Amino acid sequence: MTDAATQLSLLTPQAPRHAASTTQAQILLINAQNASAARAYRQAEWISRQERADLIVLTEVGSGPGGAALIEALHHFGYPHVLAPAPARGDYRTVLASRTAPLEPVDPGVSFLPHRAPAAIATIGDRPLGLLGLYVPSRGPQERRNKDKRGFQDTVAEALPALRKVFPDMPVVVAGDLNVVETGHQPHHKVFGRWEYAFYEAFAAAGFTDAFRHLHPDATEHSWFGRSGSGFRFDHMFITTAHAPGLLTCGYDHAPRTAALTDHAAMTLAVAMTG
């Protein structure tokens, strides 16, 4: 490990800076952008200061020293429960973390690149919540153009209808960087094919609601910006449609992006766990 990562391992774990809610599931989604050990520390420190960040979904977490440092930094800043599947080969992964609620790992049925799709049950108060994190591959290098992206999207789309059996009788939130935009996205980007829009649409077909769009039906929002300045809403949160009426908030926070902690906006969601 790097010197910075080694120093992180010597840090004493802290108590959470904020008490976790027992009546709401409060989730933060953030793309780590394959952070170095030093930037991973700053990311974890920023996360810990967010009052409504009881459950965390981190995408594009590296499998090397930077990713290990991020996990250690989360422990240090008050997230003792971490689910961080290791890839079989060098690849990015998705990490789940929790302030208070233990994470009970479950198999979501994503057999291709499963380290990009960890899932767990977290109990908020006395009620369970299902959580699935996703990091869809980018289009990839020319020699493997779209192969991993198509393969992962197809596997996830096939798994979605069965998630209500994996997570019976509870709300389920699916959160991640999908590397696709919604149908009707503004501005329109010609680069996306019909198969990519079909992946976004697969969530509704499987009984999930776009949480942001449910609360903000007419809003134009972006979570990542290309070199030309064009915006893309790549980061998404979905909730089982039956539980969408319990949504309290869902939106984007550009603070970590403008502070150069990552190149993505963070995303937050709160859903009532009572009633």
* Matching residue, tokens 């789309």: 157
| Residues 147-161: tens digit of each pLDDT | 899 999 999 999 999
For the entire predicted model, the pTM comes to 0.92
Cα of 94 vs its chain's centroid, Å: 7
> What is the number of domains present in the chain?
1
| Residues 103-116: tens digit of each pLDDT | 999 999 999 999 99
Residues 31-55, mean pLDDT to the nearest whole number: 97
Amino acid at 156: V
131 pLDDT above the threshold of 60: yes
Residues 155-169, mean pLDDT to the nearest whole number: 96
133 pLDDT above the threshold of 60: yes
Binned at pLDDT 50, 70 and 90, residue 243 comes out as very high
Question: Can you give the pLDDT at residue 144?
Answer: 65
Question: Can you give the pLDDT at residue 230?
Answer: 76
pLDDT over 70 percentage in the chain: 91
249 pLDDT above the threshold of 50: yes
Phi and psi of 46, rounded to 5°? -65, -45
Residues 202-218, mean pLDDT to the nearest whole number: 96
The domain of 45 spans 3-7+15-272
Question: Can you give the pLDDT at residue 228?
Answer: 72
The CATH number given to whatever domain includes residue 193 is 3.60.10.10
Question: Can you give the pLDDT at residue 161?
Answer: 97
Q: Tell me the average pLDDT of the chain.
A: 91
Residues 124-152, mean pLDDT to the nearest whole number: 86
Question: Can you give the pLDDT at residue 5?
Answer: 47
2 pLDDT above the threshold of 50: no
21 pLDDT above the threshold of 60: yes
Binned at pLDDT 50, 70 and 90, residue 6 comes out as very low
Q: 171 - beta bridge partners?
A: none
Residues 208-212, mean pLDDT to the nearest whole number: 98
Question: Can you give the pLDDT at residue 194?
Answer: 79
| Residues 188-202: tens digit of each pLDDT | 667 667 788 899 999
Question: Can you give the pLDDT at residue 10?
Answer: 52
Binned at pLDDT 50, 70 and 90, residue 182 comes out as confident
Give the CA distances from residue 103 to residues 124, 129, 240, 241, in Å, rounded to whole numbers and listed in that order. Answer: 11, 10, 19, 23
Question: Can you give the pLDDT at residue 108?
Answer: 98
